[in-house]
Structure 1
Amino acid sequence: MNFNGLFISGKGTINGLGEKEAWKAVCDGCRRKATNLKLIKLNDVLISGITSVNAKGFHMMISVCNNFVITNVNISAPDESPNTDGIHMSKTNKVRIRNSTIGTGDDCVSMIHGTTNVTVENVKCGPGHGFSIGSLGHYDAEFDVFGITVRNCSLAYTENGARIKTYRNESPSKASGIIFQDLTLDHVKNPILIDQEYATIPGSVDSKVLISDVEFSNIRGTTISKIAVVLACSQSFPCKGITLKDIHLEYTGDPDHNEDTPFSSNCTNVKVNYIGEQLPPPCA
């Protein structure tokens, strides 16, 4: 049974009291470390103004929910704190995250299986692992992901910018209708990334997650990687309908690092539709 109607607002802080030893420790008998705010089976929720710091695990976990608005929240943990995702969603529909600042040791916003109709806008991300869809394809009978928009956001000194990641596993699903638009990047390691070789389940060959109808549009800024665009799709289920529009990234890493490597893109098992400016140059 779901609970309908929840309003959480104020200037208070949820402090998970995470610190280096807790982040390194293994939790015996449990799969995850403590979450600062866990929201399950809720409808019609508004979260506004609160601060979450130093979670031992996720800061905010949303699962099996519908119709969420998260606005003006501040989430922070050191960049060396593993698995401290800012906002983590699964099996949840109709979420809007806006006007917030998130900096952690993992994804600023992560959307795994069953996440649908989500808009993330005007969010400052960093440090952390960027905006991630996935990991997908990890478990049996996963639900599809669709209708995701991330727009008008900035990322600074993050591991990734816009990322979709899937396991090499036998679990089939789909991820479609995804837009990353109007993103500003500052010293981001992997600005644009589709990674269908994120992790391998023993005995598996290719990811069975079909990624389609994805647009990366007006993504600009700086990167510390010579290969700034990586689209590594599944050989068995190649990506379809991938568009890159008006991409302008500049290399600001160590000028002596891989000095013989050109500033470039890398694409496998995908045909890309290019529109407008492309820097780095498109895949051959």
Structure 2
Amino acid sequence: MGDITVLFRNDDVNALTPELRNVTRIFLDRGISITHTVEPGNVSEACVAWLKQMRREHGGLVEIVQHGWNHAKHGRGEFGDGRSYGEQYDDLARGRARMEELFGEDFFPMITIPFGVYKQDTVRACDALGYKVFCAHYNYRLSRRLFYAVGRLLGRGQLFGRGISNHLRNYPRTRMFEIDSAISFIKKYYDDYGTECEFETESSMLGHFERFERFIPVIVVLLHHRYHNDARKLQLVEDVVDALQRRPCVRFSSYRGVWSEYRS
């Protein structure tokens, strides 16, 4: 088995909080990249200033990308469901414009969709706006891998309303490169906007990693900083990161790095 590239992505960045600082520090202290997905409609001036400072001080170890517009729910998610193409395009467009205004060249034009709910109109809008990277989700179960294989043969991004992972490929019929999430620190959410959840254990996280590495060479690990709100929950992140860092087959990168390496 060859080297495995690991990315860490932290979602729902809006306010500058101790949790955001603490989670970020775990990665910077180890020289590992962390990707922050920013809600452009909600991000505070203090958070913007801090992110730009982190970029100045740590360069590519801090990556800044877009997370929808304002994380509002319209049905099951911010996008998809009953929202028209125009409504979705407008929210994504003003989000992208805001990211460019706030962060300039520090913004890498990648889009992540809040709640993971989207439809083909969402994808078309993202492609029309020129995002370089689109993020969905990869599942290693055999039934899902077979489903993905059928979808890819048909050149589809979704089939029967369910996502087809095109991880490390171009999303079908678009100019966007797809890099999908795989593992999450959170096992179960108690609500959409809270700060309490059921976490995976270090052992279960590493077990997931060992299963995923059999099928994909790039594994994205997902965090939500606001849930890591005490020493024990921060220690879980440290323990998992340290365990992966000790593995000789693991190297760390960013979305920009993987996009540059794998795009055709």
Q: Normalising by structure 2, what TM-score?
A: 0.31
Instruction: Choose between structure 1 and 2: higher strand proportion.
Output: 1
| Higher gyration radius (CA) | 1
Q: Normalising by structure 1, what TM-score?
A: 0.29
Instruction: Choose between structure 1 and 2: higher helix proportion.
Output: 2
